[in-house]
A and B are shown apart, each in its own frame.
Chain A
Amino acid sequence: MQPSSLAFQTKASDALADPNLQKALGGIKTGWQRGRILAADRLPEFEQLRDQARDIKNHALEHLDFYLEAFEARVLDAGGQVHWARDAAEARAIIQGICQDNGAKTVTKSKSMIAEEIGLNDHLEAAGITPVETDLGEYIIQLRKEPPSHLVGPAVHLTRDQVSDLFAATHDLPRTEDPTELVGQARTVLRQKYLAADVGITGANFLIAETGSAITVTNEGNAELTQGLPKVHVVIASLEKVIPSMEDAFTLLRVLARSATGQEFSTYTTVMTGPKRTEDHDGPEQFHVVLLDNGRSKMIGSKFQDMLRCIRCGACMNNCPVYLAAGGHAYGWVYVGPMGSVLTPQFVGIESAHTLPNASSFCGRCEEVCPVRIPLPNLMRHWREEQFKRQLVPSTVRWGLGIWGYVAKRPALYRFATRVAMAMLGRMGRKEGSFASLPLAGGWTASRDLPAPQGKTFMQQWKKKRRGGAR
């Protein structure tokens, strides 16, 4: 997917003027945001669990090489195969190879952000292989030829009305607005695809080093059907998904669903270990794990290592006022919201995404709700530093900052300059108390008045009032 993050401002403005989108985004607030609060309140040890979750991921990252090798060994023991992919192109080629080796014409997929990251669907289609998304949200956006707008709810930007229209146009069935009937329609279409698929591709929420297992969580059970029915199962996952043990996974699962949707647990938690054994009734004949690096190993030991703790719950976006105003597509790449504002510059380069770490009021709500306590505002600030260092800041802003910095570093000059400016502004604004417009302040005054200064500065008045108090 070509990044279009530099157009964030324009896309956000369009989003604000789109009533369907605003309605859909409003649902996140009453649904998942509120759900998280209620779920956390019901669990007295929630805060301690967050600490544990953070520590588990930190430990795994500190010993990533060890746990990855252990994971690979266990996968091989179970009769599976592990493929290491340095970048997106390698991962795509590996998966295409597995598909072609097995003469695959269609593949079913359960939701995978890594598949989005490497642009897998377009690649498979170009190779004559038809990918079929089986997660309801992913199915919807595949029909609309859109990228996901949210980690957990890829089609969260759409209203039920829009889905009704889409299904009526696609399914050759009468239009319905009943959610159960809509799900039923998608299910009927998808059931046929599960049976016809030659390869099933899933993501993984966790990779377990002690057992060589991959775990996925879904609310639709589509991961089971994707991995269990075709004769070949491919797991595509990034390096940092590996954690030491099954017990660790269950600690992380306790914070994952609560943070994401407010559920205590996702409806389905699927553990996949190796291909079908002789005593098994069903399961795939081949089990492949594609382990993607794509720049993550470079994040280890860098200022951005904390970001690798992310378990993709979406709480940061559900609680971000900027995301809730702009929607996911404004971010212009695969990952959106605060976590996307940190990850996207990492993947596409800060020069193609510097708008994103700036699209934050640094209110800190994302860090407050992150189940693994990622300091998201600090990480966004690191990107701003990188942007500043590389002179990617617009020259007007750079100049403004430079002049302000020059004056602010010289208290006497600052006193003089501010005294003159405030006296002038104070006199101009005295009658109304605020300005409805002011040169160079259009960003502010387009939608709000600017309160006028009182006139004399504090320092000016203080000096007069107190003799010798100040040094």
Chain B
Amino acid sequence: MTSAASSPPAQPRVGLFVTCLVDLFRPSVGFAAVKLLEDAGCTVEVPEAQTCCGQPAFNSGDRATTEDLVRGLLDAFEGYDYVVAPSGSCAGMLRAHVPDLFENDKATAARAAEFAGRCHELVSFLVDVMGVKRVDAALERVATYHDSCSGLRELKIKRQPRRLLQSVEGLELAEMAEPEVCCGFGGTFCVKYPQISTKMVENKVQDVAASGADLLLAGDLGCLMNMAGRLARQGSPIEVRHVAEVLAGELDAPPIGRPADA
């Protein structure tokens, strides 16, 4: 799991791994991440040669494409103190699975293991590595937090986002009955098995609604788009945002799935 085994350099050089969903669908999450990292004392750079962590190929059984994509990342993020992603799922891929690739290529496997050790999910990086205890943000809302599966189970992210959310002025946290149950996104799962995925997301949004929260937060855009999509289909007033937006106080963009002038 993520832990501050050694203390970070005074002004660590962080390579931001934007993740494809944030890059394409919700750039505002990327800018929120940059702000949080800079506020924590990091120098942030965004290597241009990055695309995807390879997870869609990895989970589809396509090892060759996975390894090609990861090789690209090893080069793109060479030399950074840390690689930080605003996603538990992508960071889980980089930290937990990348070291198991390259079974037949020892040199690359060693590089991959070293790289994996530098990779972190954003919020756990802020708390566990940079020692951030509070953020400078305010929001008068009742929020509930969904624990996305990969972050929770592969990276043990659970208390870190709650800890920082507690420091947001005016924000009240209302837990769901089952915040750790999968929302039914699961990457390609949601389109391979849409009926089961729908049942899962329906269970999830019912739990969200029962919490009494008017704002749903999580650390993964895939889950957020899935839950926001279901809530929107039902005409629910519950708003959905990435946790980084609230922590950074960057709320200019409309909630996920909402029009700009709502």
A residues whose Cβ falls under 8 Å from a Cβ of B: 9, 12-13, 16, 321-322, 325-326, 358-365, 367-368, 381, 383-389, 393, 397, 401, 404-405, 408-409, 411, 414-415, 418, 421-422, 430-434, 436, 441, 443-454, 456-459, 461-463, 466, 469-471
Contacts and interface: CB of A to CB of B under 8 A. Distances in A.
Interface stretch (B2-10, B58-66, B126-134, B159-167): B58-66
Interface residues of B, number: 74
A443 B260 CA distance: 26
A404 B154 CA distance: 26
B186 A451 contact: no
Interface in B237-262: 253-254, 256-260, 262
Given A365-B181, A454-B26, 12 more contacts: A321-B181, A362-B187, A368-B153, A384-B61, A393-B60, A409-B65, A411-B48, A411-B49, A433-B254, A443-B192, A449-B229, A470-B48
B233 interface: yes
A322 B191 CA distance: 14
Interface string B185-226: 111011111111111111100000000000000000000011
B160 to A, nearest CB: 18
B57 A405 contact: yes
Given A16-B196, A16-B199, A448-B198, A459 B48 contact: yes
B182 A365 contact: yes
Contact of A443 (B186, B187, B190, B230): B190
Contacts of B26: 453-454
Given A448-B233, A454-B27, A454-B253, A9 B193 contact: yes
Interface in B34-64: 44-52, 56-63
B150 A321 contact: no
Interface stretch (B17-25, B116-124, B138-146, B168-176): B17-25
A381 B58 contact: yes
B113 interface: no
Interface of B: 18, 20, 22-28, 30-31, 44-52, 56-63, 65, 68-69, 72, 149-150, 152-154, 180-182, 184-187, 189-203, 225-226, 228-230, 232-233, 253-254, 256-260, 262
Given A385-B61, A433-B262, A461 B27 contact: yes
Contacts of A408: 20, 51-52, 69
Contact of A447 (B203, B230, B257): B230
Contact of A462 (B30, B149, B153): B30
B226 A409 contact: no
